Amino acid sequence: MTSRSASGRAVLQARELFLEGGSALDGAVRDEIRASWLRSRQHSIGAEHVQATYVERADPQTLLRDSAMSVLRDVAQEIANEPVALLLTDPHGVVLDRVCGDRGLTQHLDRAQLSLGFTYAESSVGTNGIGTAIETRSPTLVTGGEHFVGDLCQFGCAGVPIVHPLTSALVGLLDLTSWARDTNPMLLGYARATARRIQDRMVERTSLSEVTLVREYLWTCQHAGGSVLALNGELTMMNAHLQQTFDAADQTTLLACVADVSEARRTATVIADLPSGQVVRLGYRPTFTEQNAFAGGIVQIKPQVATRTHEPRHVPAVRLPGVVGASPTWERVCQKVLDSQRRSEWLVLEGEPGVGKLTLLTGAHRAAHPTGHLRVLDAADAYDIDVWLDEVAEELDAQPNTGTLILRRVHLLPESAVSSLAGMLLECQGNTGIATQPWVTMTMPSAAHSATIDAELLPHFPHTIAVPALRHHMDDLPRLVAHLLGQISRDSRLALSDDAMNQFMRLPWHGNVKQLRKVLTEAARQRRTGIIGVDDLPPECRSVNRRRLTTMEALERDAIVDALDTHDGNKDLAAEALGMSRATIYRKIKGFGIRSR
């Protein structure tokens, strides 16, 4: 006990010396702890109090949590009378689950923000058993004064990374936390054993899921025929019929369309316009193991209508003022919106944020009535709901009224306002004929419906049109880039290099046209004339990652890109500047899909 106390005092003394700006005493702390302290200092972590980042919606890591649930329950029973907490995190250190039977320890963990939703990455709270184990990708014991932040010196933490059994990708971490005075190397041994039990369950579940998906895929190919696609988070299969029927560009579009429903637990149908001109229907159905675990999805692809390559070529393209795009997918939407305007049929436009819903409606109005009255009322600006509703009423009551009223982001309205709006729309439709009614339109995200909107508002609108995400009509990207650059740089000519355009074509564009405009605006600040190259693009465009990054991941990616730019692509120097190991920065460059110089 005396030896342990002396060792603890030496570590605390080394920590104080380090925090004062010196180096840790030689031999007083382990090399891995000293390296972590250096990284924590570079992250500008406060040394006294925990200020963990909170993530409102952490990545659920379904395979990890499903596999860990029973293990955590069993281990919790085994240590029910011990002051030990079991914690499960995602690969970024966000706490997904915590089990602790000791009330006193639980209270102190809450004060240290070591609870659900908080991030214990090194970049958030400095050296600790979770973040340091994730950083080094190796089992790590951090106890007492080895922690960088003073609030954590009362704890001992043993973290063990958990990797995917097929891809070896880091999927999460198992951590055991106790009081520092009770911590010894056995805590790390027990954490290793628990993590192995979780990984064994993952192997069972993964193997079963893959077998189930392959079996369903083969059965569908043999009995249904035609083009078949099967996929889950780790596996994608296409049958020979699909590969022979669709070229590489069509296959890319098919995968992008399916990606939006590939995690769904219920059947879905998607209509896709392919670059080749074909229009197909994608019938998706989920598959489950005998234990009712989600295994992936099967997609059957069938022609929807005759291909556009056989349509008369004299059909004029739809042109709406201010609206850019000539792909079959986009032109079809434009035509539907314009037809609705010409018939004065009230319309709802749905789609992801930034896809151009307001631009489409404004363009349709200007195409039909270039000088007609147009009013946009955005629910996001309705600081006083009664005033906003009064403005809607004034537009509906104006006589005669053949203008356009766009009710934007109505999903943000409270239920009472939705009911009031529905009453005004009903009164307008009852008191006037179609010829004297305004063209009333609404916009909202695809997945933001409330029961009140569905029941009270939508019945007043004969049509709902879905505006496709940018990733579903990527052949319009070059036109959009040229159009937006013309708006951004009015007094000079700017263009995108072929290399930069190729990079744009690889990106998922989760923020759609709004994100594209933001990216081009940032690039134009770097180069105001001439050709914009890949090196002029902001960090978010220098990596290719099909999933949406968390805020912390995006910050980390941007820091790596900036460090690589600063050191002319030298990964070793960039790693040293960031306080990362050479292996870590290589892994993160690959994981983020960063394209360096």
Q: Is residue 155 within 8 Å of residue 145, measured between CB atoms?
A: no
Report pLDDT for 358.
93
Query: CA–CA distance from 85 to each of 151, 153, 507 (Å)?
Result: 17, 16, 41
Q: Is residue 171 within 8 Å of residue 164, measured between CB atoms?
A: yes
Q: What are phi and psi of 372, to 5 degrees?
A: -75, 165
Report pLDDT for 127.
94
CATH number, domain with residue 60:
3.30.450.40
Q: For residues 278 and 369, state if they share a domain.
A: no
Report pLDDT for 436.
65
Q: Is residue 470 within 8 Å of residue 516, measured between CB atoms?
A: yes
pLDDT tens readout for residues 576-594:
877 777 777 877 887 777 7
Q: Is residue 216 part of a domain?
A: no
Q: Where are the alpha helices (DSSP H) in 472-570?
A: 477-488, 498-506, 512-526, 551-566
CATH number, domain with residue 565:
1.10.8.60
Return d(Cα 142, Cα 148) in angstroms, integer: 10
Given 309, 336, 361, the domain boundary residue is 309
Model confidence at 446: pLDDT above 90 = no
Report pLDDT for 143.
93
| Angle between helix 415-431 and helix 385-397 axes, rounded to 10 deg | 10
For 351-359, what is the mean pLDDT?
Answer: 90
Strands 347-350 and 439-444: parallel
Q: Is residue 439 within 8 Å of residue 346, measured between CB atoms?
A: yes
Given 280, 309, 338, the domain boundary residue is 309
The full DSSP string for 195-233 is HHHHHHHHHHHHHHHHHHHHHHHHHHHHHT-SEEEEE-S
Report pLDDT for 205.
76
CA atoms within 13 A of residue 121's CA, in its CB half-sphere: 20
Say what percent of the chain tops pLDDT 70.
Answer: 87
- Contacts from 305-311 at CB under 8 Å and sequence distance 24+? 305/279, 307/276, 307/277, 307/278, 307/279, 308/277, 308/278, 308/279, 309/276, 309/277, 309/278
Report pLDDT for 311.
40
pLDDT tens readout for residues 470-510:
888 888 888 898 888 888 886 667 888 888 888 888 787 88
For 144-150, what is the mean pLDDT?
Answer: 92
Q: Is residue 318 part of a domain?
A: no
Q: For residues 18 and 163, state if they share a domain.
A: yes
Beta bridge partners of 159: 140, 175
Model confidence at 224: pLDDT above 50 = yes
Report pLDDT for 22.
67
The residue among 131, 93, 125 whose CA lies nearest residue 112 is: 125
Q: For residues 576 and 490, state if they share a domain.
A: yes
Q: For residues 259 and 124, state if they share a domain.
A: no
Model confidence at 185: pLDDT above 70 = yes
For 150-164, what is the mean pLDDT?
Answer: 93
Q: Is residue 421 part of a domain?
A: yes
Q: How many CB atoms lie within 10 A of CB 184?
A: 13
Say what percent of the chain tops pLDDT 90.
Answer: 22
Model confidence at 548: pLDDT above 70 = no
Model confidence at 5: pLDDT above 60 = no
Q: For residues 29 and 59, state if they share a domain.
A: yes
Give the range among 118-122, 156-160, 488-492, 550-554 with minimum mean pLDDT.
550-554
Q: What are phi and psi of 366, to 5 degrees?
A: -70, -30
Q: Which helix (H) or strand (E) holds 420?
A: helix 415-431
Omega of the bond leading into 538 within 30 degrees of 0 (cis):
no
Q: Whole-prediction pTM value? A: 0.47
Q: For residues 236 and 333, state if they share a domain.
A: no
Q: For residues 340 and 294, state if they share a domain.
A: no
pLDDT tens readout for residues 48-101:
888 888 876 555 557 788 888 889 888 888 888 889 999 999 998 999 999 998
CATH number, domain with residue 281:
3.30.450.20
Report pLDDT for 111.
92
Q: Is residue 382 within 8 Å of residue 413, measured between CB atoms?
A: yes
Reading across the β-sheet that carries 268-273, which strands appear in turn? 236-238, 227-231, 294-303, 279-288, 268-273
Report pLDDT for 312.
37
Q: Which one of 206-220, 367-381, 550-564 scores highest in mean pLDDT?
A: 367-381
Q: Print the domain residue range for 117.
A: 2-205
Q: What are phi and psi of 160, to 5 degrees?
A: -130, 120
Model confidence at 597: pLDDT above 80 = no
- Token representation of residue 281: 């229907």
Q: Is residue 314 part of a domain?
A: no
Collapse the DSSP code of 172 into the 3-class scheme (helix H, G, I; strand E, B; otherwise coil) and give the result.
strand
Report pLDDT for 110.
92
- Token representation of residue 385: 């709901």
Q: What single-letter amino acid sits at 58?
A: A
Report pLDDT for 492.
64
Q: Is residue 322 part of a domain?
A: no
The full DSSP string for 265-319 is SS-EEEEEE-TTS-EEEEEEEEEE-TT--EEEEEEEEEE-S--GGGS-TTSPPP-
Return d(Cα 283, Cα 231) in angstroms, integer: 13
Q: Is residue 305 part of a domain?
A: yes
Report pLDDT for 569.
79
Q: How confident is the model at residue 122 (pLDDT cuts 50, 70, 90)?
A: very high
Q: Is residue 439 part of a domain?
A: yes
Query: In whole numbers, what is the pLDDT of the chain averaged over residues?
Result: 83
pLDDT tens readout for residues 401-427:
678 999 999 888 888 888 899 888 888
CATH number, domain with residue 428:
3.40.50.300
| Angle between helix 498-506 and helix 477-488 axes, rounded to 10 deg | 120
Q: For residues 54 and 90, state if they share a domain.
A: yes
Report pLDDT for 314.
38
pLDDT tens readout for residues 243-254:
888 877 778 778
What DSSP character marks residue 594? Answer: B
Model confidence at 308: pLDDT above 70 = no
Q: Is residue 202 within 8 Å of residue 63, measured between CB atoms?
A: yes
Q: Pick 433 or 487 by higher pLDDT.
A: 487
Count of domains in the chain? 4
Q: Classify residue 584 as exposed, middle or buried by CB count within 10 Å of its CB (0-12, 13-18, 19+).
A: middle
Q: For residues 24 and 173, state if they share a domain.
A: yes
For 177-184, what is the mean pLDDT?
Answer: 90
pLDDT tens readout for residues 17-42:
888 876 655 567 888 898 899 899 88
Q: For residues 262 and 363, state if they share a domain.
A: no
Q: How confident is the model at residue 265 (pLDDT cuts 50, 70, 90)?
A: confident
- Token representation of residue 432: 């006037």
Q: How many CB atoms lie within 10 A of CB 194?
A: 25
Given 412, 435, 468, the domain boundary residue is 468
Q: How confident is the model at residue 318 (pLDDT cuts 50, 70, 90)?
A: low
Q: Is residue 526 within 8 Å of residue 500, measured between CB atoms?
A: no
Q: Is residue 121 part of a domain?
A: yes
Q: For residues 365 and 495, state if they share a domain.
A: no
Q: Is residue 116 within 8 Å of residue 212, measured between CB atoms?
A: no
Collapse the DSSP code of 139 into the 3-class scheme (helix H, G, I; strand E, B; otherwise coil) and give the result.
coil
CA atoms within 13 A of residue 381's CA, in its CB half-sphere: 7
Return d(Cα 297, Cα 235) in angstroms, integer: 10
Q: For residues 463 and 477, state if they share a domain.
A: no
Q: Is residue 53 within 8 Å of residue 89, measured between CB atoms?
A: no
Collapse the DSSP code of 442 into the 3-class scheme (helix H, G, I; strand E, B; otherwise coil) and give the result.
strand
For 333-344, what is the mean pLDDT?
Answer: 89
Report pLDDT for 26.
59
Model confidence at 306: pLDDT above 60 = no
